[in-house]
């Protein structure tokens, strides 16, 4: 019988790019149209169809929400062309990370996907998660959610060999981050404020071209698992802690198997074993170029696909000809 590891070797690395490309191409048709739901639905339908062509017994562990709230790609949905007989694969996905960005034609919208062997991705509830991330090359444990903003920035700056004021920190532009932003301003750091898309924000710390040193702030827990899968592949560091606004969210977390509500999750807690992360740009951004339509009807996409076991990062530029 084919194991999950073998199927990751043989098929899924580049097949994942085809899945995110399909979602990105569909969503791109609605860039700047002002309709978030339509853009998201287009990406979801395309990603689902592409996943169902793959030889695997896939389970969506992070998707568009619970079954009653999401008609397609809901948590627990089975996908793949070999349900019941193929290798068992867990899937975390966000067919359109940045629905508002896409509707407004802003930067950094992505189609995102991570896969791993069964049981290796945290089944995160749809609540907020406090996050901190740094790229590869730093000593283990250099960042921690138990440290203050200043302590984390100072530690990274010292190891990088620069003053704290020379670092650039990526933060979601939200009122809830006022204290973080104020403390970073007091230190003198540069701050890259992003309107949405914290998966791209976390991954930006792994790419020297973005000049982003750290990511800090609160965003969705499902997006945290996706970002952690990417950081596992490139050797970065990430920590997350679930945040609950009410008893209903606490009950939802327990329903998904979360016992310690105050637990600080490291990379291995969120994405274990071998995993693959893939993303395709929908709109242009710091990480990836968005979908481009050429004069003759061809479209181009730019994607990245990463693998934890090999540490390989592939940048994929594709040209898609219109179907006759």
Record the tokens describing residue 281, joined without a space.
């740009």
* Among the listed residues 256, 260, 255, 257, the one whose alpha carbon sits nearest the alpha carbon of residue 240: 260
Per-residue confidence of the chain (324 residues) as pLDDT tens digits? 455 555 566 557 889 999 999 999 999 999 999 999 999 999 999 999 999 999 899 999 998 776 556 567 888 899 999 999 988 999 999 999 999 999 999 999 999 999 999 999 998 888 899 999 999 999 999 999 999 999 999 999 999 999 999 999 999 999 999 999 999 999 999 999 998 888 999 999 998 888 999 999 999 998 999 999 999 998 899 999 999 999 999 988 888 788 899 999 999 999 998 899 999 999 998 889 999 999 888 999 999 999 998 888 899 999 999 876
Clarify whether residues 252 and 304 are in a common domain. no
Strand partners, 219: 129
On whether both 205 and 100 belong to a single domain, the answer is: no
Q: Same structural domain for residues 136 and 261?
A: yes
Contact 223, 277 (CB under 8 A): no
pLDDT score recorded for residue 1: 47
Angle ∠(149,286,180) on CA atoms, nearest 5: 15
Same domain, 137 and 262: yes
Nearest in space to 126 (alpha carbons), one of 256, 291, 34: 256
3-state secondary structure of 115: strand
**Residue 261: domain span:** 128-270
**Residues 279 and 266 occupy one common structural domain:** no
Q: What is the CATH number of the domain that holds 199?
A: 3.40.190.90
Query: Model-level pTM greater than 0.85?
Result: yes
Same domain, 75 and 145: no
Q: Based on the domain organization, do 62 and 105 belong to the same domain?
A: yes
Distance, in Å, from the CA atom of 174 to the CA atom of 172, rounded to the nearest integer, reads: 6
State whether 19 and 96 are in the same domain.
Answer: yes
Do 133 and 73 share a domain, yes or no?
no
Say whether both 111 and 162 belong to one domain. no
Residue where a domain terminates, one of 228, 251, 270: 270
Q: What is the CATH number of the domain that holds 34?
A: 3.30.540.10
Beta strands in the chain (DSSP E): 57-62, 78-79, 88-97, 110-117, 128-134, 168-172, 190-194, 214-220, 237-243, 264-266, 275-281, 292-293, 299-307, 313-320
Q: What one-character-per-residue DSSP string does 87-99 give? A: -EEEEEEEEEE-H
**Residues 206 and 259 placed together within one structural domain of the fold:** yes
Together in a domain, 194 and 264: yes
Could you tell me the sign of the dihedral formed by the alpha carbons of 14, 92, 230, 232, in that order? negative
The count of structural domains within the chain is 2
């Amino acid at each position: 019988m084919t194991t999950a590891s073998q199927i990751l070797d043989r098929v899924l690395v580049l097949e994942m790019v085809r899945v995110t490309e399909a979602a990105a191409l569909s969503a791109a048709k609605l860039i700047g149209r002002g309709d978030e739901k339509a853009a998201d639905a287009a990406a979801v339908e395309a990603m689902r169809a592409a996943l169902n062509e793959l030889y695997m017994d896939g389970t969506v562990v992070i998707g568009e929400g619970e079954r009653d709230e999401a008609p397609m790609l809901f948590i627990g949905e089975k996908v793949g062309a070999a349900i019941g007989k193929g290798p068992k694969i867990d899937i975390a996905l966000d067919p359109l990370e940045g629905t508002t960005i896409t509707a407004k034609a802003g930067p950094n919208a992505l189609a995102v996907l991570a896969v791993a062997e069964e049981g290796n991705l945290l089944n995160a509830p749809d609540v907020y998660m406090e996050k901190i991330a740094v790229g590869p090359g730093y000593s283990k444990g250099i960042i921690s959610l138990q440290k203050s903003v200043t302590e984390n920035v100072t530690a990274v700056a010292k190891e990088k060999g620069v003053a704290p004021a020379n670092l650039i920190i990526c933060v979601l532009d939200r009122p809830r981050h006022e204290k973080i932003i104020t403390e970073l301003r007091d230190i003198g750091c540069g701050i890259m404020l992003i309107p949405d898309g914290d998966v791209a924000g976390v991954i930006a710390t792994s790419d020297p071209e973005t000049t982003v040193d750290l990511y800090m702030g609160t965003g969705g827990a499902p997006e945290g698992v996706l970002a952690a899968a990417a950081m596992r592949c490139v050797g970065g560091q990430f920590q997350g802690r679930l945040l609950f606004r009410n008893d209903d969210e606490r009950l939802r977390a327990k329903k998904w198997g979360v016992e310690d509500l105050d637990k600080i999750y490291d990379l291995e807690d969120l994405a274990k074993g071998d995993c693959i992360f893939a993303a395709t740009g929908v709109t242009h951004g710091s990480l990836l170029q968005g979908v481009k339509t050429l004069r003759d009807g061809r479209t181009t996409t730019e994607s990245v696909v990463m693998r934890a076991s090999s540490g390989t990062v592939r940048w994929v530029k594709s040209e898609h000809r219109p179907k006759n």
